[in-house]
Amino acid sequence: MPSLLLDADDPIRLPRGRHALSREEVGASQRRRLLQAVTDEVGESGYAVTTATRVFRRAGVSSRAFYQQFTDVQDCFLTAYDECVRTTNRVLADVDARAVASPVERFSALLSAYLELLAEHPNVARTFLVEIYSAGAAARRRRLAVHQQFVDSVAAVLLPSRSPGQADHVAVEALVDSIVFKVTRAVLGNTLAGDRGQIHADILDVLVRLIPALGCI
């Protein structure tokens, strides 16, 4: 399965003995594998039972390497979340750069790419849409901030010619809340891969019903 957090040439474990990697390359590879490990561990077992030991053993690195990179499990977890958000934003930006001019068509293309990305990375979806709320106040604040960025990004797509007013803002929030609810429900039911086409159609139907409130599409 492809990874949002690993490079294509990252080894499962670094070679023993002499190798051609620099100290910086070793550290960067260990960091990426730890971020992937915490994402997978939380996605499969839950944040409540995830420990540093489980993460660094899964990543194939030493405890010393873990604590050189992160202060604790929450630090590792939040770093993984931030990196997944950055990668998702890059993927969607690439899709948007190729999208057609119509706001609705742009939105449809971005929604399709978003659903595909989460379906291809189920541990990312479960970890950062469900388990993040178990990771403490800092994680919840981070998630709410990203949700607001999601709202602002959708508003920029659907209302490209002006800053949205209050009515517009509420309509866009309703649309984004519908996306998050439907995706989270599918993640909890392990049905996202099979349901993403229907979710896409349902969200576009919601958008059509909201167009009078958005006004300028």
Q: What is the pLDDT of residues 130-160, one digit of tens each?
A: 999 999 999 999 999 999 999 999 998 888 7
Cα–Cα distance between 54 and 121 in angstroms, integer? 20
Cα–Cα distance between 154 and 148 in angstroms, integer? 10
- Choose between 138 and 9: higher pLDDT: 138
Phi/psi for 132 (5° steps) reads -60, -25
Cα–Cα distance between 215 and 217 in angstroms, integer? 6
Mean pLDDT of the chain: 88
Homologous superfamily (CATH) for 74-214 = Tetracycline Repressor, domain 2 (1.10.357.10)
pLDDT computed for residue 217 by the predictor:
56
Cα–Cα distance between 161 and 142 in angstroms, integer? 29
Query: Rounded to two decimals, what is the model's pTM?
Result: 0.86
User: What is the domain partition of the chain in residue ranges?
Assistant: 23-72, 74-214
pLDDT computed for residue 25 by the predictor:
81
Question: What angle (nearest 5°) sits at the alpha carbon of residue 3, between those of residues 51 and 139?
Answer: 45
We find that the CATH architecture of domain 23-72 is Orthogonal Bundle (1.10)
The answer to whether the 23-72 and 74-214 domains have the same CATH topology is no
